[in-house]
Amino acid sequence: MDDTSTSAPLGFAEAVQTVLRRSGPGSRIVELDIARAAGFAPAEEVFADVDLPPFDRAAMDGFAYRHADLARGPRLRLAGRVAAGETPAPRLAPGECVKIMTGAVVPEDADTVIPVEDTTGYQPRDGFVAFHRPPPRGANIAPRGEDLRAGAAVLRPGALLTAQDIGLLAAVGRRRVRVHDGPRIAFAATGSELREPGDPLPAGCIRNSNAYALWAQVLAARGHAEYLGLLPDEPDALRAALARGLAADILVVSGGISMGELDLVPGALEELGVKIVFRWVRVRPGRPTLFGVREREAAAGPGASARTLVFGLPGNPLSTLFGFDQYVLPAARVFRRHPRPAAPILEGRLDAGVRKKPGNTALIACRSEWAGSGFVLSPLVTHGSADIAGVRGADAIAIIPEEAESPGAGTRVPFRRLHQP
Ligand code: AMP
Ligand code: MG
């Protein structure tokens, strides 16, 4: 830690930008069932195998007919019926119409569909249907290929798959699609005072909550979770476990990165070849926050990323939670080729004042609500950055700029949504 560039604290926005600059897209491609592929970046071109719609399709329940046949009056003889999925569609002699259902093939002889509500109805007593308001020729027919032509490219380049893209993939006959895989994210909790949930809790110990919150965040980020376990504040055990974690695309370590005598994580990482990019950020919670990069040897094998991004987040549960959200998520978004890796910054009005220390950006857990003309942010009262119970229900993080005084009720402040994958 003799390099001064790693010890001077960065501003919060600069720290996030630094992470983004060092992040890179992943190169592993996986083939997924389309139902699981939303949120991933496609890794192949997909072309329509049929026209959409594949035939001239009735867009309304009604009657199909030849528009020219109305020349002798708005009244046609009912000659049959065609339902969705039925082929071949019936032929029409001059002066005839057929009942047609939405989605049915329009008979070859017909050129117009009139909605049933604009007629005397489906059960004519004399076998003739009268039209009250005949629409123009061609009405209520979706022509073959109107939406998409067979052979046309289906996916938008550079965008993540949405539910409607998945629907479109199904419409062009695809069950599976190749996508860019999410990052492998290894994570560990450090602290000799920690015990796993389910194990006995001796005096002086607390439960390891961070590893499980991180696990949830990794999965929400479409990452592959690799839990390295609970690590004691003991150099050899730390080094061995963190070495395993460096095989992942991203390594996240909770705890052990501050100034305490037993904060052994930065030293262990450096011994493992991690170049520390920054160690301190002017933000609370999360002033000690470590970001480093371990370049990998060229021989690391197919699909291995060129580097592992390493995040050391302070062990207080809110610091870890926010740190993942603000630094690790953007890196994971870059990895999976998200078109907007930095989560958008919105603006809201605080409905209560909050206290902040000068010289640091303050991250404040809030509940957000749309109030007709803007967002209202209700800051959650916590007893500090260990208070995981105090942030239940938080869905936003207000970001009070470094230079700002403690903002009072009514102040407009920037915020980000919490847990935006
Ligand atoms: P550290 O960053 O290791 O100095 O930890 C700061 C505080 O967070 C200490 O009070 C720890 O006991 C607590 N803490 C550290 N790791 C965890 C964890 N995995 N789960 C819950 N609390 C933790
Ligand atoms: Mg600790």
Cα(226) to ligand 2 centroid in Å equals: 21
Q: What is the percent of the chain where pLDDT is above 90?
A: 94
pLDDT at 250 over 50: yes
Helices (H), 275-328: 317-323
Joined together, the tokens standing for residue 257 give 């990165």
pLDDT at 303 over 90: no
Cα(284) to ligand 2 centroid in Å equals: 18
Cα(248) to ligand 1 centroid in Å equals: 23
To 10 degrees, the CA torsion angle through 17, 22, 23, 25? 130
Q: Residue 262: nearest ligand to its CA?
A: 2
pLDDT at 97 over 80: yes
Displacement of CA 373 from its chain's centroid (Å): 26
pLDDT at 101 over 80: yes
Q: Which of 254, 265, 322, 383 to mutate to test the pocket of ligand 1 (most atoms within 8 A of CB)?
A: 254
* 3-state secondary structure at position 139: coil
Q: Which residues line ligand 1 (CB under 6 A)?
A: 189, 191, 193-194, 206, 208-211, 254-256, 258, 260, 314-317, 386
pLDDT at 263 over 80: yes
pLDDT band at 334 (very low <50, low <70, confident <90, very high): very high
Q: Is the peptide bond before 302 cis (omega within 30 degrees of 0)?
A: no
State the pLDDT at residue 306: 84
DSSP 8-state secondary structure symbol assigned to residue 321: H
Q: Do 152 and 21 form a contact (C-beta atoms < 8 A)?
A: no
pTM of the model: 0.93
Cα(315) to ligand 2 centroid in Å equals: 6
Beta-strand relationship, 288-295 and 75-82? unpaired
pLDDT band at 111 (very low <50, low <70, confident <90, very high): very high
Residue of 359, 363, 346 lying closest to 397 (CA atoms) = 363
Q: Which of 194, 322, 387 to mutate to test the pocket of ligand 1 (most atoms within 8 A of CB)?
A: 194
Element (H, E) at 185: strand 184-190
Q: Residue 319: nearest ligand to its CA?
A: 1
CA 386 to ligand 1: nearest atom: 8
pLDDT at 399 over 90: yes
Joined together, the tokens standing for residue 121 give 């109805």
Non-local CB neighbours of 228 within 8 Å, separated by 6+ positions: 186, 187, 188, 241, 242, 244, 245
CB neighbours of residue 163 within 10 Å = 10
pLDDT at 59 over 80: yes
Average pLDDT on 181-198 reads 98
CA 208 to ligand 1: nearest atom: 20
CA separation for the pair 296, 293 (Å, rounded): 9
Sign, Cα dihedral of 153, 156, 161, 166: negative
| Mean pLDDT score across all residues of the chain | 95
State the pLDDT at residue 296: 83
pLDDT at 39 over 80: yes
Go through the domains of the chain in sequence order and give each one's CATH number.
10-28+182-335 (3.40.980.10), 34-49+152-180 (no CATH), 57-142 (2.170.190.11), 346-417 (2.40.340.10)
Largest distance between two CA atoms of the chain: 98
Q: Residue 323: nearest ligand to its CA?
A: 1
Q: Comparing 4-18, 23-37, 161-175, 399-413, which segment has the lowest mean pLDDT?
A: 4-18
CA 257 to ligand 1: nearest atom: 2
Average pLDDT on 318-329 reads 98
State the pLDDT at residue 7: 78
Q: Residue 252: nearest ligand to its CA?
A: 1
Q: What is the pLDDT of residues 114-129, one digit of tens each?
A: 999 999 999 999 999 9
Q: Whose CA is nearest to atom 16 of ligand 1?
A: 315
pLDDT at 199 over 50: yes
* 3-state secondary structure at position 255: coil
Q: Which of 201, 206, 252, 279 to mutate to test the pocket of ligand 1 (most atoms within 8 A of CB)?
A: 206
Q: What is the pLDDT of residues 210-244, one digit of tens each?
A: 999 999 999 999 999 999 999 999 999 999 999 99
Residue of 123, 41, 33, 6 lying closest to 335 (CA atoms) = 41
Residue of 122, 119, 117, 124 lying closest to 82 (CA atoms) = 122
Q: Looking at the DSSP assignment, which residues form a beta bridge with residue 292? A: 276, 310
pLDDT at 84 over 90: yes
Q: Looking at the DSSP assignment, which residues form a beta bridge with residue 258? A: none
